[in-house]
Amino acid sequence: MKNFIYILSLTFCFGILSSCSKCMDCSCTQIVSQTGMPDVNHTVEFDNICDEELDDIEGTTTITQTVGGIVQTIEQTCDCN
């Protein structure tokens, strides 16, 4: 009986620990380049970014769009600790 309670306790504790969210603070730099305009740089800090949102924001993302002959490129790089 003691072994059963011990195993049940370990299973319960493992379940609680594995359900904890992975959260980090992130620093993101965004560079906006547009035809005929100087580049614009932004730096933004985010606190407590967790789980799927953390996966989405971490790393480098580049978006390019063209409207009426004007090309705009946005590059965002986020480092999370």
| CATH code of residue 54 | 2.10.60.10
Number of domains in the chain: 1
Is residue 60 in a domain? yes
Average pLDDT over residues 31-58: 95
Q: How far apart are CA 57 and CA 25, in angstroms?
A: 11
Is residue 14 in a domain? no
Average pLDDT over residues 52-56: 92
Is residue 1 in a domain? no
Is residue 56 in a domain? yes
Burial of 77 (0-12, 13-18, 19+ CB in 10 A): middle
Is residue 15 in a domain? no
Q: How far apart are CA 57 and CA 41, in angstroms?
A: 17
pLDDT at 15: 47
Domain residues for the domain of 75 are 23-80
Is residue 58 in a domain? yes
